[in-house]
Amino acid sequence: MKQLITVILFVLTLSGLSYAQDLNYRLCIKNKCSNTIVKDIFYTLQKGGSNYIPDTNGVTRLPEAGAYILRSASFSDVIELNFQDYKSYCDTLNADEIIECLEPTTRPRFIGFCCCDFTPCEGYKIDRFNNGQVRIESQFRNGIPIGKFKRYNQSGKLVEVTTYSKKGKKRKTVIC
């Protein structure tokens, strides 16, 4: 009986140690238009050729500390995260405000750019990466770029300029 109690205490101690060694990550996304925050389950953390995805609660369990690359369907950023300690981490990042969209059900054949909950962009718009650098900059009319449509990388360098007519017809694209 004494040996059984010793074994049970040993197993409980080991399970407690493994729990203390958990490294968890959760990502939340802020919609800047509606000022709402939701948990993201459409992201991946990558390290050394392996991909780690969240469970249905949005929590990713990681095997070890170190540097991971974060990618999400909610934003264009590619973010390096560095986990030093075995604990739970949580980030809230901004969703892209301007996205390329196709709305076959509400507006057949509409292909353009949507802002704020999938409504066509209107007027002069600037979208930014989570680090504050400009991502997209353009004038829009009913979701269609007018004039110069500029894309930037996360460092703020201009990478592409596409020129559109006043009617929204693509004229030319220059890769910078």
Could you give the CA distance from residue 46 to residue 33 in angstroms, rounded to a whole number?
A: 29
Which amino acid is residue 171, in one-letter code? R
> Which carries the bigger pLDDT value, residue 103 or residue 97?
97
Which residues pair with residue 127 across a beta bridge? 136
Placement of tokens 């969240």 in the chain: 54
- CB hemisphere CA count around 51 (13 angstroms): 8
User: Does residue 106 share a domain with residue 87?
Assistant: no
Choose the weakest-confidence range: 14-23, 43-52, 144-153, 155-164.
14-23
In a domain, 52, yes or no: yes
pLDDT, position 106: 57
Could you give the CA distance from residue 119 to residue 107 in angstroms, rounded to a whole number?
A: 11
In this structure, the number of other CB atoms found within 10 A of the CB of residue 87 comes to 12
Q: For residue 58, what are its two tokens?
A: 């949005």
User: Which of 94, 122, 156 is at the close of a domain?
Assistant: 94
Give 19-50 as a DSSP string.
HHT-EEEEEEEEETTTTEEEE--SEEEEETTE
In a domain, 10, yes or no: no
Residue 19 has pLDDT above 90, yes or no: no
Could you give the CA distance from residue 99 to residue 94 in angstroms, rounded to a whole number?
A: 13
The CATH number assigned to the domain holding 32 equals 2.60.40.10
In a domain, 9, yes or no: no
In a domain, 142, yes or no: yes
In a domain, 53, yes or no: yes
In this structure, the number of other CB atoms found within 10 A of the CB of residue 25 comes to 21
User: Does residue 38 share a domain with residue 68?
Assistant: yes
Domain of 51 in residue numbering reads as 21-94
User: Which of 47, 77, 94 is at the close of a domain?
Assistant: 94
User: Which of 94, 121, 151 is at the close of a domain?
Assistant: 94
pLDDT digits 0-9 by tens, 103-135 = 665 555 668 899 887 788 999 999 999 999 999
Q: CA 70: distance to chain centroid?
A: 8
- Decide: pTM greater than 0.85: no
- CB hemisphere CA count around 71 (13 angstroms): 6
In a domain, 11, yes or no: no
Residue 20 has pLDDT above 90, yes or no: no
User: Does residue 122 share a domain with residue 56?
Assistant: no
Question: Number of folded domains in the chain?
Answer: 2
